Structure 1
Amino acid sequence: MVTTYTSYLNIANNLQRSIELVGAQPVVARETEYYLANIGKIDTVDQFMADSRIYNYALKAHGLEEMSYAKAFIRKVLTEGIDNSDAFANQLTDTRYRDFAEAFNFARHGETATIFTVAQQGTVDKYMRQTLEEDAGNSNEGVRLALYFERMAPSLNNAYEILSDTALSTVARTLLNLPDEYAFTDIDKQAAFFEANLDFEDFKDPAKLGELMQRFASIWEINNPTTTLNAASLLTPSPTTEISADLMIAINNLKLGG
Structure 2
Amino acid sequence: MITTYASYTLISRDLPKSLARVAEKPDVARETEYYLSKIGSIKSVDEFMADSRLYNYALKAHGLEDMAYAKAFMRKVLTEGNRDEKAFARQLADSRYSSLVESLNFEAQGAAATSFERAQKGVVDKFQRQTLEEEAGEENPGVRLALYFARMAPSIKSGMEILADEALTEVVRTVLQMPGEMASLDVDRQAVFIEEALNIEDFQDTTKVNKFLERFSAMWELQNPSDSGTSAAALFAPASQGISPDLLLSINNLKLGGK
Q: TM-score, normalised by structure 1?
A: 0.84
Matches for 1:215-226 after TM superposition, within 5 Å: 215-226=215-226
Shift of 1:148: 0.2
Matches for 1:1-258 after TM superposition, within 5 Å: 1-180=1-180, 182-226=182-226
Instruction: Show CA shifts across 1:163-221 (max 9, x none).
Output: 22221111111111124554344322222222222221011011111110111111111
Shift of 1:156: 1.1
CA distance in 2, matches of 1:32, 1:150: 24
Q: Is the 8 A contact 1:159 1:191 kept in 2?
A: yes
Q: Alpha carbons of 1:43 and 1:194: their partners in 2 closer, same or farther (altered >3 Å)?
A: same
Q: Name the larger-Rg structure.
A: 1
CA distance in 2, matches of 1:183, 1:52: 38
Q: Is the 8 A contact 1:159 1:194 kept in 2?
A: yes
Shift of 1:76: 1.4
* Unmatched segments (≥5 aa) in structure 2: 229-259
CA distance in 1, matches of 2:191, 2:212: 19
CA distance in 2, matches of 1:141, 1:180: 20
Q: Is the 8 A contact 1:77 1:89 kept in 2?
A: yes
Instruction: Show CA shifts across 1:52-101 (max 9, x none).
Output: 11111101111111111222221111111111222222222222211111
CA distance in 1, matches of 2:102, 2:55: 15
Amino acid at match of 1:91: Q
Q: Is the 8 A contact 1:93 1:164 kept in 2?
A: yes
CA distance in 2, matches of 1:180, 1:8: 26
Greater relative contact order (Cα < 8 A, sep 6+):
2
Shift of 1:226: 3.5
CA distance in 2, matches of 1:43, 1:58: 15
CA distance in 2, matches of 1:173, 1:221: 14
Root mean square deviation, CA, Å: 1.6
Q: Is the 8 A contact 1:95 1:161 kept in 2?
A: no
Identical-residue share of aligned pairs (%): 57
Instruction: Show CA shifts across 1:16-61 (max 9, x none).
Output: 1111111111111111111111111111101111111111110111
Q: TM-score, normalised by structure 2?
A: 0.84
Query: Residue 240 of structure 1 aligns with which residue?
Result: none
Instruction: Show CA shifts across 1:204-247 (max 9, x none).
Output: 0111111101111111111123489xxxxxxxxxxxxxxxxxxx
CA distance in 2, matches of 1:186, 1:149: 24
